[in-house]
Amino acid sequence: MLRCEDTMAHSLNSGIWSTSPLYQNAVKDLDMAGKVMGIDPNVLERLKIPKRAMCVAVPIRMDDGSVRVFEGYRVQHNMTLGPAKGGIRFHPEVNLSEVSALAMLMTMKCALVGLPLGGGKGGVRVDPRQLSRAEQQAITRRYTMEIISMIGPEKDVPAPDVGTDGQHMAWMMDTYSMAKGYSVPGVVTGKPIEIGGSLGRGESTGRGVVFVIEHAIELMKKRGTWKKDLKDATAVVHGFGKVGAVAANELYIRGCKVLAVSDFYGGIYNKNGLDIAAVQKYMDQNRKLEGFPGADAVTNEELLGLQCDILVPAAIDGVITMDNVKNVKAKLISEGANGPISSDAQQYLEEHGVFVVPDILANAGGVIVSYFEWVQGLQSFFWSDDEVNKRLASVMKDAFDRVAAIQEKYKCGMKTAALISSVERVSKAMLYRGLFP
């Protein structure tokens, strides 16, 4: 097992943290926010590098009897405000730089919405679609044991992410609990309800994406840059997974015409709007959108350039760059995924009048309800679905209003405004606590 924190200075000099575009964009955005707000440069430098990282080997015996070794990571970016919080992703492109960037975004996200949590992230470099259920369980349990010294209800609380779900969290919880000798439901969030999960957690990220769309429309109407009600608008959703499917359905039930959605293999489009309930049923039965009746096939790239009012990039990072940003026709974008728009493309969109609700605000619903789940688990007192949703809506509204006020004050983009709000809270806490030793 390699502990990356033991060689962090060398790693920084060798550029290991900055190899992914996502990390480079995160640092660039942080610098921009710091410049606008005039932050203490010493604090800014501390925020650019993760506090701690662990790289682990994850060997498992495959169904055919062979042994394969996968790469695993867990990164804790900043824990000034509380325990680290962040998902575990299983994806073939997972690497230390990407995980570090996502951990940084989690720090900012938690601070933005006022949670007493820091930023963490983890993952295993694997394509879960190529694994059987038994192999997925084996890799989850071995990975959990390899990082067990880093996680815990009071230290670092993982959650589902790309390629993982409530079942993976159940395996993680059970593995951790077996090592401790007693049940510890608070070690992860996003668990099944039966073992301490929270009502509303599964829908929370996609639901939050639509909450901020509603607030954005209200704000844009006040500023005279938007005239339609949501029920009269058209939308396109890039990604039909845990976030995109919920966001598409939430838009649909509010009367918004969802023209297109997509998955890994491609998208489907109907100029008159899709029946999202029927699309979800088809997806459940076929495991992909391809072949859905009454719709035309489009590529994921074509989907991003469709004529629409609202675009929700809810799949993976880096899908809108300077190479394709000029194709985007939406006037309102709500980032359901983490880092779906590059920094340069974000600036281009804002300069051309597109209102972009940044990822650390738009998709914060997941970590907000994860926090609710963590609190409920610690208290062994659980809330109703209605109470969870009301609390989620309230937190999202407060965060949006705060970011909008900062945007107005500094005359900057929403991404920069959101980061200013986050950095203000984290930097004050860091300055109060001081630098040890």
Question: Quick one: pLDDT at residue 5?
Answer: 42
pLDDT in tens, 111-164: 999 999 999 999 999 999 999 999 999 999 999 999 999 999 999 999 999 899
Residue 30 and residue 155 in one domain: yes
pLDDT in tens, 265-284: 999 999 999 999 999 999 99
Residue 111 and residue 223 in one domain: no
Asked if residue 239 has pLDDT above 50, the reply is yes
pLDDT in tens, 149-167: 999 999 999 999 989 999 9
For residue 317, name the pLDDT band (cuts at 50, 70, 90).
confident
Residue 212 and residue 344 in one domain: yes
Q: Which domain holds residue 14?
A: 4-197
- Cα 9 from Cα 48, distance rounded (Å): 13
In sequence order, what DSSP letters do the residues of 252-265 get, joined into one string?
A: HHTT-EEEEEEETT
Q: Which two tokens stand for residue 21?
A: 């575009």
Q: Exactly one of 121, 191, 331, 415 is catalytic; which is it?
A: 121
More confident residue, 361 or 436: 361
Residue 168 belongs to domain with CATH number: 3.40.50.10860
The answer to whether residue 326 is domain-embedded is yes
Residue 51 and residue 131 in one domain: yes
Residue 54 and residue 186 in one domain: yes
The answer to whether residue 419 is domain-embedded is no
- Cα 58 from Cα 35, distance rounded (Å): 41
pLDDT in tens, 169-190: 999 999 999 999 999 999 999 9
The answer to whether residue 433 is domain-embedded is no
- Provide the whole-model pTM: 0.90
Among candidate residues 346, 362, 378, the one where a domain is terminated: 362
Residue 137 and residue 77 in one domain: yes
Residue 19 and residue 60 in one domain: yes
For residue 422, name the pLDDT band (cuts at 50, 70, 90).
very high
Residue 112 and residue 145 in one domain: yes
pLDDT in tens, 332-350: 999 999 889 998 999 999 9
Asked if residue 9 has pLDDT above 70, the reply is no
Q: Which two tokens stand for residue 436?
A: 């040890």
For residue 214, name the pLDDT band (cuts at 50, 70, 90).
very high
Among candidate residues 153, 176, 197, the one where a domain is terminated: 197
| Section 409-422 average pLDDT | 94
Nearest to 359 by CA among 253, 249, 243: 243
Residue 156 and residue 219 in one domain: no
Question: Quick one: pLDDT at residue 428?
Answer: 94
Query: At 88, phi and psi to the nearest 5?
Result: -115, 120
Question: Quick one: pLDDT at residue 15?
Answer: 61
Q: What are the start-end ranges of the H helices in 68-132?
A: 96-112
**Which residue is listed with tokens 């097992």?**
1
Residue 272 belongs to domain with CATH number: 3.40.50.720
Cis peptide bond prior to 437, omega within 30° of 0 = yes
DSSP label at residue 152: B
Asked if residue 8 has pLDDT above 90, the reply is no
Q: How many domains does the chain have?
A: 2
More confident residue, 21 or 201: 201
Among candidate residues 197, 224, 240, the one where a domain is terminated: 197
Question: Quick one: pLDDT at residue 11?
Answer: 40
The answer to whether residue 432 is domain-embedded is no
The answer to whether residue 371 is domain-embedded is no
Question: Quick one: pLDDT at residue 437?
Answer: 86
The answer to whether residue 423 is domain-embedded is no
- Cα 364 from Cα 422, distance rounded (Å): 12
- Cα 84 from Cα 371, distance rounded (Å): 11
Residue 132 and residue 217 in one domain: no
Residue 41 and residue 154 in one domain: yes
Asked if residue 4 has pLDDT above 60, the reply is no
The answer to whether residue 331 is domain-embedded is yes
Q: What are the start-end ranges of the H helices in 49-150?
A: 96-112, 133-146
The answer to whether residue 54 is domain-embedded is yes
Q: Which two tokens stand for residue 274?
A: 């899709």
Q: What are the start-end ranges of the H helices in 224-261?
A: 244-253
Q: What percent of the chain has pLDDT over 70?
A: 96
Contact assessment for residue 216 and residue 332, using Cβ atoms and an 8 Å cutoff: yes
Residue 252 and residue 311 in one domain: yes
Q: Which helix (H) or strand (E) element contains residue 394?
A: helix 385-410
Q: Is 121 among the catalytic positions?
A: yes
